[in-house]
């Protein structure tokens, strides 16, 4: 067998599919925030989201403010996809993530604001889903509360 690398394939060529050098995923690294986000969502709508990973995402966003816009783009795309598919359980997970980010990342509030408000606007327009409208109201309330500066 030859040297395994990205440029030099093993002598066995395509027969050795299980070699790490030949797998598509091993060739490109996955961004850390994408991995954390993927681990938050449960396999089915009825299961609970991974609370520990939500906390990890909040810590990551607080330490890496340049990643917050990418996180919000992912969450925004995900909630719109879930609303179109009428997967409201996953949409609730997205809103839970936003609410946790609001509380833990107050310094990054301007980076979260436009995305969050557009999502809240969309959720308030959900005529048939009262629970989604309630979640939108609660999230908007959390957003307003976290905007207020404490008195010194």
For 30-42, what is each residue's pLDDT tens digit? 888 899 999 999 9
Average pLDDT estimate for 50-74? 94
Which pLDDT score is estimated for 30? 80
**How far is Cα 132 from Cα 91, in angstroms, rounded to an integer?**
8
Which pLDDT score is estimated for 26? 55
Report whether 90 contacts 41 (CB < 8 A): yes
Of residues 107 and 26, more confidence is placed in 107
Confidence class of residue 46 from pLDDT cuts 50, 70 and 90? confident
Tokens 């557009």: give the residue.
118
* Residue pLDDT, tens place only, 87-100: 999 999 999 999 99
Which pLDDT score is estimated for 118? 96
**How far is Cα 42 from Cα 122, in angstroms, rounded to an integer?**
23
Q: What is the mean pLDDT of the chain?
A: 85
Residue 8 reports pLDDT greater than 60: no
Which pLDDT score is estimated for 140? 94
Output the six-digit token pair for 112. Answer: 């979260």
Which pLDDT score is estimated for 147? 83
Length of the chain: 152
């Amino acid at each position: 067998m030859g040297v395994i690398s990205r440029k030099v394939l093993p002598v066995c060529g395509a027969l050795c599919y299980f070699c790490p050098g030949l797998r598509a995923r091993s060739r490109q690294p996955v961004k850390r925030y994408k991995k954390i986000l993927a681990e938050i969502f449960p396999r089915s709508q009825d299961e609970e989201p991974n609370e520990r990973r939500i906390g990890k995402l909040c810590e990551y966003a607080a330490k890496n403010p340049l990643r917050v816009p990418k996180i919000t783009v992912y969450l925004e795309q995900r909630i719109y996809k879930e609303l179109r598919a009428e997967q409201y359980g996953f949409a609730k997970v997205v809103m839970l993530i936003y609410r946790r980010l609001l509380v833990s990342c107050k310094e990054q509030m301007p980076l979260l604001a436009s995305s969050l408000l557009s999502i809240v606007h969309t959720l308030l327009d959900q005529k048939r889903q009262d629970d989604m409208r309630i979640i939108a109201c609660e999230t908007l309330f959390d957003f307003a509360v976290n905007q207020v500066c404490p008195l010194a």
